[in-house]
Copies of this chain bind each other. A is one copy, B any other.
Amino acid sequence: MIIMEKGATSEQIKHVVSEIKKHGLRADISRGEFRTIIGLIGDESRISFTHLAALPGVKEARMIETPYKLISREYSELFEGKDESRIVEVGDIRIGGDEPVFIAGPCAIESKAQIFRIAEEVKKAGAHILRGGIFKPRSSVHSFQGLGALGDEEAREALSWLRDAGQKFGMPVMTEVRGESQVDLIAEYVDILQVGARNMYHQDMLSSIARKGKPVLFKRHFGASVEEFLSFSEYIAAEGNKDIILCERGIVPVGKGNSYTRYTLDLVAVPVVQKETYLPIIVDPSHAAGRRDLIFDMSCAATAVGASGLVIEVHYNPAEALVDAQQMITPDELGRIITTCKQIKKLVASDKKKIAVA
């Protein structure tokens, strides 16, 4: 990271950037109130930090040790001069602020009537953002892959239902992008582009999504450490898009015998991530559990541990859903979760302010 002197001129900044580009790297320029920080993007072994430090107007060239730099607290502290978290704004919804945000909807969109009815009911229950899958990643090629699999026209139609349902009931909308070829299409219709757990390592798609400039919901892969999770979210930040909402959704279970849940929800990852980066992080209890009778408990715990929100699968009649029938809850249950979690958030936030931890 290149820290410029307070009075550095734009000529000096341009010169530093051109030096960086000359070596095949890119530059991330952050203009703060007091000073300008230039982050290097790309293969750092190709450039000399000593050389950069000696350029006119440069105060310091500092190495950041983690593989994630642009999203690290260290970087934002350099830039802002204080320890502040990022609020990702989607319409007038603020993710990462004092209020928990609830993203809800069906696992897969099945019909116009279905998504409109669910939209109406989750809105009434208190949800802020509407979700619905159109391109479903599935373990088996022999399972339903979402309406997007039926053809371009069907995909567009389903996307427009999602957009329209969101507009009608006053919610921004989100759907998952499963492959690079869907990025452009989906970006036309939705407010948040979702990267599913299975695609966390898919760096080319991450770059491509990031360049759309829209907020990205980025799920942790179930075999990834927190370090890898953050390192790959850096691929999004490296395109200049820092509207990243991280999402914990469970890691592979360990141990012999019945594991009772599909994945092991790693809730402690939430405060760990919050100490490492300034990005907001939310939790998806539905996919981690794989069974609806644990969603309430998991939602309470996720909120208590500090998550900025939840993404929950909801259906008015879970039993008839084509995908994930056993883990979806009803809008009524969602309503109770929202009510309780809001109170927990308030309680924990107020107490946390009082604690000074070493």
Q: Please list the residues of chain A having a beta carbon within 8 angstroms of any beta carbon in chain B.
A: 24, 40-46, 67-69, 137-145, 150, 178-182, 198-199, 201-205, 208, 221-228, 231-232, 234-235, 238, 251-268, 270-272, 275-276, 288-289, 292-298, 300-306, 318, 322, 333, 336, 339-340, 343-344, 347-348, 351-352, 354-355, 357-358
Contact = CB atoms under 8 A, between A and B. Distances in A.
A255 to B, nearest CB: 3
Closest 3 CB pairs of A and B: A223-B223, A179-B204, A225-B255
A195 B324 CA distance: 28
Contacts of A42: 141-142, 145
A352 B270 CA distance: 24
Contact of A201 (B68, B137, B226, B232): B137
Given A150-B24, A234-B141, A351-B340, A180 B204 contact: yes
B254 A298 contact: no
Given A222-B223, A251-B264, A301-B304, A296 B352 contact: yes
18 contacts: A42-B141, A45-B322, A139-B257, A181-B204, A221-B223, A222-B223, A225-B257, A227-B257, A265-B266, A268-B289, A268-B294, A292-B357, A292-B358, A293-B358, A296-B355, A297-B306, A303-B304, A343-B347
A293 B179 contact: no
B333 A355 contact: yes
A132 B262 CA distance: 36
A24 B150 CA distance: 8
**From A181, A204, A256, A333, residue with most partner B Cβ within 10 Å:** A256
Contacts of A295: 357
Contact of A223 (B68, B224, B268): B224
**From A45, A223, A270, A298, residue with most partner B Cβ within 10 Å:** A223
A256 B256 contact: no
Nearest to A67: B140
**From A137, A267, A293, residue with most partner B Cβ within 10 Å:** A267
